[in-house]
């Protein structure tokens, strides 16, 4: 029996070609997770914006309806009653239009951010980026958002 041990080679072995494949797969997973978390953050911001718009619209409607309710507790003529109803109806129609315009604007803004995120990911892979189509779509959305006056202050 020999008690000799094999000599330990101090030089590291060259990396196997498989390591590069594993590194590439790990990086692809990281990029995929980064994309997923980025898009989730964008969707959460969009959700916050929509919730803010809903809160503002509800607050404005509450204040207006409470004011009309207070006036209705007092004596009024039929003409005043009709004027209050018409005014309230007008407010509700205008408020509804502003509300839906603000919601659509917030959704378009969120969609633009999602498209920008997707464009960034697509641009990172040469030859696969559908850049012209994405840029045209982003320009269309930007024009829609910039042209939409919501009437709801932030």
Segment 98-145, tens digit of pLDDT: 999 999 999 999 999 999 888 877 665 544 444 555 566 666 667 666
DSSP labels for 58-117?
A: HHHHHHHHHHHHHHHTS---HHHHHHHHHHHHHHHHHHHHHHHHHHHHHHHHHHHHHHHH
Residue 136 has a pLDDT of 60
* 15-49 residue pLDDT tens: 555 676 677 777 777 888 888 899 999 999 999 99
Cα dihedral value 122, 123, 124, 129, nearest 10: 50
Spatial separation of the C-alpha atoms in residues 55 and 48, rounded to whole Å: 10
Residue 117 has a pLDDT of 86
Looking at residue 23, the DSSP 8-state letter turns out to be H
Is 154 domain-assigned?
no
Is 127 domain-assigned?
yes
Spatial separation of the C-alpha atoms in residues 68 and 89, rounded to whole Å: 11
Is 4 domain-assigned?
no
Residue 58 has a pLDDT of 96
Is 94 domain-assigned?
yes
Residue 153 has a pLDDT of 46
Is 143 domain-assigned?
yes
Query: Range of 98's domain?
Result: 20-147
Burial 31-51 (b: 16+ CB within 10 A, else e): eeeeeeebeeebeeebeebee
Is 5 domain-assigned?
no
Q: Per the structure, how many domains does the chain have?
A: 1
The C-alpha angle with vertex 147 and arms to 146 and 148, in degrees rounded to 5, equals 95
Is 76 domain-assigned?
yes
Is 6 domain-assigned?
no
* Overall average pLDDT of the 40-59 stretch: 96
């Amino acid at each position: 029996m020999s008690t000799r041990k094999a000599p330990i080679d101090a030089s590291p072995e060259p990396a196997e070609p498989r390591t590069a494949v594993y590194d590439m797969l790990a990086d692809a997973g990281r990029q995929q997770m980064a994309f997923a978390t980025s898009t989730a953050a964008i969707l959460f911001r969009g959700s916050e914006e929509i919730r803010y718009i809903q809160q503002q619209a509800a607050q404005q409607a509450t204040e207006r309806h409470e004011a009309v309710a207070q006036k209705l507790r007092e004596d009024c003529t039929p003409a005043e009653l009709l004027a209050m109803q018409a005014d309230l109806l007008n407010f509700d129609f205008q408020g509804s239009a502003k509300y839906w315009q603000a919601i659509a604007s917030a959704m378009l803004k969120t969609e633009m951010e999602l498209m920008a995120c997707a464009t960034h990911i697509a641009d990172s892979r040469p030859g696969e980026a559908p850049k012209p189509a994405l840029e045209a779509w982003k320009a269309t959305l930007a024009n829609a958002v910039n042209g939409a006056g919501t009437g709801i202050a932030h």
